[in-house]
Chain A
């Protein structure tokens, strides 16, 4: 039995869906990408050459929704780490893509580098709760021309799970496909072994980024799953009400569904939820807002209504340092997203509204997420779990500690075992003499020192470097 949270009833789901269809039909969206405009026009949709708005008919949306796969395989180069989304189990991935690192040595924030990305990637490989890669931070010291490619290569090299990343320009597509050749022997195998998937954020309200969209269309044709991740901000780039923001988010997602299903019928997709509010005191993005949790809840239900796996932002925070604010915001957002039934939650390792990496925080988030997963697992209430025989056997006034069944269930994970959180006595805590954040830092350093990432074959490793280097010579 799984604990679940619900917000929308059937009538509300119908209203949100119909409203989103109406927006696409009457207002439309702007792709800015000629490749996208051609696809939509060929499908008979109304294009306004002046504004480049495309209005999409409801029946096309419905036809494209029917093409969405309900399960999405995110393959890993270590097949034991493959993930299939859409089967009711919750997964977690790193967050993408911060531009700063909270330097543990100085305690100060600084622009993120490739070395930071390698560190967080290696650390994530050692952590149990992370199910796949997303380039956590920008490799700011790598030249812009090849940066995204180097970040993808880092994912393939320094961890062995699935790699989710971005593609910013069509010029990168051939190089990414060459990486798939190197990893799989032939890019055509990517259909069966999708090692790589893409996230792409529409720019609210109702726009897609031209270059990214053109590149994603090409990648979708090579069986690369697409996670469409609208990030409207209630009150600023979407209506102030959460219902209005939910409708607009759905409309933006559906416009992507139409585009990528036209480009590649059956293209595996995820509904990424990045909706939240603009903080009206500072004018900045608010990740730790309770409203984010409500939007996650409603939009996860919409995603599941469409039969598409959902990637929600959970375990997210606006806090500038690991501490009470980070802990409560991440727990609140993570728990709600997971209990809503999200297939993936993001956010692990970043602070400051997805902008800043902290390795300590990643270790803390691992603990938070494992705790959340323990709640989400619920419990069975069958005969074996009700343990009536044992209760009778122990009877009145006995105890259960010395029973074999107690040990068996503990070993099977019946109780959550914290690694970082300190239970126990005050004296033990005071003897430890270090804060939870310091303990997290120690664990991070220990894992980075001892953990071995399963290495790429030497020729593949070399090929990835060569591809990135070659991309840098293109003018």
Chain B
């Protein structure tokens, strides 16, 4: 088996957003002498980083990025159990719990940010829309999340964000998570006012912000 050829095909499967091919290539890699962790890191993750960079440069459409992340996820599903079985750890990816707040059923903004975070290597737990405060708190606890992403498109539902920050504090979880908020009417000032850790205007800004917030944590880990 030509190793370089395999990596080239992995690269192509991610770039083309072909989840089926990505999973097949991951299975194929497991039948070689290659270390599955190296296949994941140097193959799939590397390829996805390239896609991300090209999207940032404005060379790709958003669905290309999302499909590439899907391909990466499919490969991870194949490789991860084997990596764990061999006693390796990929260093658990940081988990982000996200959702659109109670009373608001606008989904798309939050979903775009979620997809981009997955592409950036986060584990995303998407609670959907119209999510009650308690569900955010419970999910942060159960998933051992280190990030919370909150979305609201309506000025009338924005106050729910404040309630969630408060509830996380009351549950003793606030110091363990970074809370980032977004949505058309949301501002940086509002994030500061309610004690959130950050605000992002669009998917790209969100991805950069999460990466920045995650950086010190992973450096110290």
Contacts and interface: CB of A to CB of B under 8 A. Distances in A.
| A and B: bona fide binding partners | yes
Contact of B108 (A138, A140, A237, A282): A237
A99 B184 contact: yes
B89 interface: no
Interface in B32-88: 58, 61-63
B2 to A, nearest CB: 36
Interface in A69-120: 99, 111
A285 B190 CA distance: 22
Interface string B192-209: 000000000011100000
A207 B116 CA distance: 25
B205 to A, nearest CB: 10
A144 B106 contact: no
B133 interface: no
Contacts of B107: 203, 237
B202 A280 contact: no
A235 interface: yes
B155 A99 contact: yes
B167 interface: no
Contact of B62 (A169, A203, A237, A280): A280
A285 B108 CA distance: 11
B62 A168 contact: no
B185 interface: yes
A171 to B, nearest CB: 12
B189 interface: yes
Contact of B159 (A32, A144, A285): A144
Interface residues of A, number: 25
B221 to A, nearest CB: 30
B61 A280 contact: yes
A140 B193 CA distance: 14
Contact of B112 (A99, A138, A281, A283): A283
Interface in B85-128: 103, 105-109, 112, 116
A355 B153 CA distance: 12
B189 A283 contact: no
A32, A138, A203, A207, most chain B CB atoms within 10 A: A203
A169 B203 CA distance: 30
B103 A203 contact: no
B156 interface: yes
B209 to A, nearest CB: 15
Nearest to B115: A283
A178 interface: no
Nearest to B190: A111
A34 to B, nearest CB: 15
A233 B108 CA distance: 10
14 contacts: A32-B105, A99-B185, A140-B155, A147-B155, A168-B154, A169-B156, A236-B108, A236-B112, A278-B62, A280-B62, A280-B63, A282-B204, A283-B62, A283-B202
Interface of B: 58, 61-63, 103, 105-109, 112, 116, 154-156, 159, 184-185, 187, 189-190, 202-204
Interface of A: 32, 99, 111, 138, 140, 144, 147, 168-169, 203, 207, 209, 211, 233, 235-237, 278, 280-285, 355
Given A111-B189, A285-B184, 9 more contacts: A99-B155, A138-B155, A147-B155, A168-B154, A168-B156, A203-B107, A237-B108, A283-B62, A355-B185
